[in-house]
Structure 1
Amino acid sequence: MDNNVMKIVYTFFLGALLALFVGLGIQTFYPGPEMPEPTSGIEFVPESSTPTEEQREEMAENERQWRQWQEDQQAYSRNVAVVALGASVVLLGLSLVLEKRNRVLTNGIMLGGLFTLLYAIGRSFASTETTMTFIAVGVGLAVVLFLGHRRFFRENRPDTAQDDERREQAGV
């Protein structure tokens, strides 16, 4: 019983670390756009008073910089979603390749791929680009259906059931 609990904990921990590794790797090697700093000379203008020409120019410049940053941030989120989506597909593919070797490791990698897929979908929502979001959700749906069918719904052939039983007895 205790060993099975540790296997479950390890599986979730490995999955979470893989998703964090992908997310932090993207952030490290492809940092996002820096948020603009307000113009140094801008001061609070009460609503009852009329801003000077200089204050209006500073406010317009700040607004322009803010809008540019928002556009850059949306493009960045789209690019991050694409990279994370690719990483999730690689992790999920790796889990299929290793499926027969070590069930606990395979499940951890698969869970990491699924967590990374969720991250990619979240970043695609942040991009506000519906095409990218649709693609990310579509890939996610296809991958989850394929993995679900392969891991949980295919018939357990007698030789496969015996292999699974031997692996469980060996503690793998």
Structure 2
Amino acid sequence: MKTAIKIVYMFVLAIFINLTFALAITAFYQPPKYPEYPSCDYYNSSSSYSSLFNGDEDDSCKEEREEYEKKSKEYPKQLGAYGRNIFIILTLISLLVITAAIFIKDISKTLAAGVMLGGIFTMIFGQGITFFNYIFSMLSALPGFWGGNGDYNPTIDNAIRFIAALLGLIVLIVLGLLKFRDEDSGGSPTYEMPTYTGPDSNLEPSSPVSPPLSPAPPPESAPNSPPQSPIGTEKSVDNPSVSKPPETTIS
């Protein structure tokens, strides 16, 4: 059960990390807007229908149409530059997130795994954000896309969403530290070296222990040694440890 909770927490944390960076980009770095179609009023113009059919139109309408065509041709280049910048930014952010996960693995392995997974999701998101921004910019150019008003700016709403996602991310990180820090530090068993309690227990663990010395062999006795005379073993009176030589009598 604990393993399942950790897996769910890691995925939720990764999603919040990815969502926070995505909302930050949409709130503070808007994609280029698709050019609006010229709003020339042909009904109130001085040109007749025959002149419009023949290609003769007012100078104001003609300038608006030419400006629209020019911006339409430049839009793919602007969108490509925007996608390149987003990819570079998200790649750098994901690398920083993965590096941070490596450093916090000693604090909590579960938290580090969730952060690293969030960095991977952010890098993947950088690949596909250009396509979604292209679809979004095309739809935002439609007059009725935002409820009949083409002047709606989603920057404020995206900023509010970013703040909400950031607060949720902070709460998840704090809960992960409080819940999984002690479990990750004490969950895995550690092997301890046995303690030596012999006579050389005060030695350092790295110093080699010398083997015990073997007892010296007994001295070999001389073979067939003649028995000593009790006279020769008489000890001196002055020094009992020194034997006196035998006395000789001169006749």
3-state DSSP of counterpart to 1:37: coil
Deviates more, 1:91-100 or 1:117-126: 117-126
In the other structure, the counterpart of 2:78 is: 72
Q: How does 1:40-55 map to 2 (within 5 A)?
A: 40-41=39-40, 50-54=54-58
1:102 alignment partner, one of 93, 96, 108: 108
Q: How does 1:1-172 map to 2 (within 5 A)?
A: 1=1, 3-41=2-40, 50-54=54-58, 57-123=63-129, 166-168=186-188
3-state DSSP of counterpart to 2:78: helix
Contact 1:11 1:105 in 2 (8 A): yes
Contact 1:11 1:108 in 2 (8 A): yes
Q: How far is the alpha carbon of 1:18 from its aligned partner?
A: 0.3
C-alpha distance in structure 1 between counterparts of 2:73 and 2:27, whole Å: 25
Tell which has more relative contact order, 1 or 2 (C-alpha 8 A, sep 6+).
1
One-letter amino acid matched to 1:167: G
Deviates more, 1:51-60 or 1:76-85: 51-60
Unaligned runs of 5+ in 2: 43-52, 133-183, 190-251
C-alpha distance in structure 2 between counterparts of 1:7 and 1:50, whole Å: 71
Contact 1:42 1:59 in 2 (8 A): no
One-letter amino acid matched to 2:10: T
Size of the aligned set, in residue pairs, is 127
In the other structure, the counterpart of 2:153 is: none
Q: Give per-residue Cα distances to partners, 1:83-106, cap 9 Å, x unaligned.
A: 100100000001101112211111
Deviates more, 1:102-111 or 1:67-76: 67-76
Unaligned runs of 5+ in 1: 44-48, 127-163
- Structure with larger Rg: 2
One-letter amino acid matched to 1:166: G
3-state DSSP of counterpart to 2:68: helix
Q: Give per-residue Cα distances to partners, 1:88-139, cap 9 Å, x unaligned.
A: 000000110111221111111001000011112334789xxxxxxxxxxxxx
Note closer, same or farther for the CA distance 1:105–1:4 as it changes in structure 2 (3 Å cut). same
Higher helix proportion: 1
One-letter amino acid matched to 2:29: Y
Deviates more, 1:109-118 or 1:23-32: 23-32
TM-score by length of 1: 0.63
C-alpha distance in structure 2 between counterparts of 1:100 and 1:5, whole Å: 21
3-state DSSP of counterpart to 1:4: helix
C-alpha distance in structure 2 between counterparts of 1:52 and 1:104, whole Å: 70
Note closer, same or farther for the CA distance 1:165–1:99 as it changes in structure 2 (3 Å cut). closer
Q: How far is the alpha carbon of 1:168 from its aligned partner?
A: 4.8
Note closer, same or farther for the CA distance 1:5–1:51 as it changes in structure 2 (3 Å cut). farther
C-alpha distance in structure 2 between counterparts of 1:42 and 1:81, whole Å: 41
TM-score by length of 2: 0.44
